[in-house]
A and B are shown apart, each in its own frame.
Chain A
Amino acid sequence: MPDLCLYFQVHQPNRLIPYDFFRIGEHAYYEDEGLNGEILSKVAEKCYLPANAMFTKAIQESRGRFRMALSISGTVIEQMQRHRPDVLRSFQDLVATGNVELLAETYYHSLAFVHSKKEFERQVELHLDKLEEVFHIRPRIFRNTELIYNNAIAAQAETMGFDGILAEGVPWVLNGQSPDYLYRAPQVCQLKTLLRNIELSDDLGFRFSDRSWSEWPLTPEKFAGWIKRAPGDVVNLFLDYESIGEHQGRDSGVFEFWERLPDAVLDEDVKWVTPSEVVDLFRASKEYDCHWPTSWADAERDLSAWMGNVMQQEAIAKIHKLEEEVLAAKDAELSHAWAKMQTSDHFYWMSTKRGTDGSVHEYFSPYGSPYDAYMYFMNALADLQIRIRRSLEARAMMDGGG
């Protein structure tokens, strides 16, 4: 009988205004503050606040036997600080129970690792600092944006001192093995890799409210039975926090389900564990050899959700190309604006995929089309380039004059 490890991702991006050509060079604010605040509030009311209350209660009523993990991106923490401090407090209270582990990630929820190791490290450090400041916690486990993972990222996480890393249990890398064990990347000594159980995670994240699904309606008791019967050491359920109440609406019964799941699982004698407990409890005896970057996005489970077409490839390459210049300008506001444009969602909205994955991209997009997303982003980027140049020139003048 395996243990059960539950982790939720909490993230909101900074959506851009329809930044047209005429703003370039004179309009230094790229983000739609109103829209971002509005969406945060909407998601907070539908998901964050009621879910936090529900899980706080579950922890209390189970006398600490229910445990879980959250990864909260730097961008969403900022949004909460700005628009909804009450929501941030609710997360702080939840974490203060001591039964909710926080994970490390890139502050800006970016694809930095793919483009610059240096920038990647900078963003992970920033996120660690933010968690220290807001939650007084220093995580031991790392999870990269959208579970983007390969051997190199695992090695990097080990170098940075983490004990474990989360990844998608991709069938073509698992090659017939079960995701319900701990794994080790080829070139690491200590770091352990936790693999997401795709089947069971997606039952809750995607299929839960699908009436054409043969298992609908899913009860906590039925699901707990599936966990109990699963072979292996630990079942990893990795989900978006927003799947409770937002992607899966309240009327689907999603809250009733999660309210009863902690006890239903405990009734089957299955233990709730957090990622760092998993790392301490189990040995990583098997090797998970993952060369190409994988992720939990789209059917392809690769980087194509963000880098699948030429618009995405150009936009992401161009934003990262500014790294040296923007950091040389030594202007905190400017580098913050730059780094916020690395948030993976910007590229996700430029996807031209069709079919089921295409409609998921569309569902999350604030723009009329991927082409609009690209145009606004590139115009804002042009403005950012101009600001960087101005800032560098001003610095050079000061240095020259001084």
Chain B
Amino acid sequence: MNRLRVLKLGWEFPPLINGGLGIACLGLSQALARHVDLRVVVPRAAPDSGFEGFELLGLNHLRIEDVEAAESVYRYESFAQIDRVPIHLDPYDSDETTVEKIRMEPGGEVRFSQTTRNQLEQFKMGDLYGSDLGSKVIEFSKIAAKLALQSEFDIVHAHDWMTFLAGVEVKKATGKPLVLHVHASQYDRAGADARGWIFEIEKYGMEQADAVIPVSRYTGQICASHYGIKSSKIHPVHNGAEPVKVFSTKKKFPEKLVLFLGRLTAQKGPEFFLEIAAKVLERNRNVRFVMAGTGERLKPLIESGAFRGLGGYFHFTGFLNKEKVNELLSMTDIYCMPSVSEPFGLSALEAAQFGIPAVISKQSGVAEVLKGALKADFWDVELMARHITDLLNDDELRERVVQQAAKDMAASTWDAAAAKVLDVYRSLMP
């Protein structure tokens, strides 16, 4: 069989943003590049990223001349009547956001399909998310389609909703099969009742796709049930984990340390962690809880912790950089991830590399990978607390969990993930 040619559409890409999405896209791209010819298009790339094995194109480096040749043959299909989508979304923002109404302008299809110098400019500066995210998503899809019309490839593979429109546009313009990768859905971010533009794009994209790759069976079930996508085209592929440099630091205090790490948003279940801590501390005073990270829930969480009288044993760190996170991991005894809905949960794997046993919610993808981790429903704080207490008291149990995690970790590589993705590609080839 010939080497496949894949056009990959991404949004975040290291080293510009080091969120989970970018890290996963990079890991998968590097592994896939060993098997396919890969071109990755993102809104913005660092000037000389120089990744080996695949080509990375940031629209911030694109000139208007690069897309001109395709202007005459391309008509925008998806949202042709929309003039402006006022949307503000920033997953790393700590304030609550509001959304305005979409403005329609009938009969603007032809003008709409063109790309102007100004539209290209918006990828050069400002935020990747922010107030003009809606228009960036649309412009990205137009430009992606024009680039696709000028290049040779067999499959288009898009990552998360910001690129789904682009994937659909590319498929409509070229007729190539479309693979959508779901790293997180609006169901995870905003809850089961979330509806609106982003939900509609996700649903529309998955309906148009030839194959959907969720990062876990858990997320696959959401695609099938919540978005009504046919199960036969859903193929879950777990993320891999890059090996991290592991070290250990001696704690400056005698108590054991239980860690929560992540953005302080409802999705991550920080309130449940607080409840779990309160329950454990009722039984065992020889333990400290640390909530690392920041987000819009920080202030209410601090007040709630004070109300429960946890201060002195429950610590908030605020935002931590990678170095500090690793320092924290190096002294942690138990990792707790009570996410309400976690498509994957890479941080639990990173903790496992540090030899930390994990107590995680069943509503997470990583629960399928870490077979030995102690699990409970996110709302079952009693069971979570019992798991933590058991790990604190029972060294044998602790050892078993850590051993099993080491085995599971060994299988969780990007190469394994790439092999499965390759199978999906091949199944779509005539």
Contact = CB atoms under 8 A, between A and B. Distances in A.
A382 B315 contact: yes
B243 interface: no
A310 B307 contact: yes
Interface in A299-342: 309-311, 313-315, 317-318
A382 B312 contact: yes
A374 B302 contact: yes
A314 B311 contact: yes
A29 B311 CA distance: 19
A24 B303 contact: no
Interface stretch (B32-40, B316-324, B351-359, B415-423): B316-324
Interface in A353-400: 371, 374-375, 378-379, 381-382, 385-386
Contacts of B88: none
Nearest to B290: A21
B302 A375 contact: yes
A313 B307 CA distance: 9
Given A371-B302, A386-B253, A318 B312 contact: yes
Contacts, number: 61
B15 interface: no
A112 to B, nearest CB: 19
Residue in B253, B317, B318, B324 with the greatest tally of chain A CB atoms within 10 Å: B253
Given A314-B306, A382-B313, A26 B252 contact: yes
Given A311-B303, A314-B306, A374-B306, A24 B311 contact: no
A310 B302 CA distance: 9
A25 B251 contact: yes
Residue in B290, B298, B316 with the greatest tally of chain A CB atoms within 10 Å: B316
Contact of B324 (A22, A371, A379): A22
Contacts of B298: 371
B66 interface: no
B108 interface: no
A338 to B, nearest CB: 13
B309 interface: yes
Interface residues of A, number: 23
Given A22-B324, A22-B327, A314 B315 contact: no
B258 to A, nearest CB: 13
A24 B253 contact: yes
A315 B311 contact: yes
Contacts of A202: none
A315 B317 CA distance: 17
Contacts of A381: 311-312
Contacts of A382: 253, 288, 312-313, 315
B84 interface: no
Interface string B285-321: 0001010000000110011001101011101111000
B302 A25 contact: no
A26 B306 CA distance: 24
Contacts of A86: none
Contacts of A22: 317, 324, 327-328
Contact of B311 (A21, A25, A318, A386): A318
8 contacts: A314-B306, A315-B306, A317-B309, A318-B309, A374-B302, A378-B312, A379-B315, A381-B312
Interface of B: 251-254, 288, 290, 298-299, 302-303, 306-307, 309, 311-313, 315-318, 324, 327-328
Given A24-B252, A318-B309, A374-B311, 9 more contacts: A21-B317, A309-B306, A310-B306, A311-B302, A318-B311, A375-B318, A382-B253, A382-B288, A386-B254
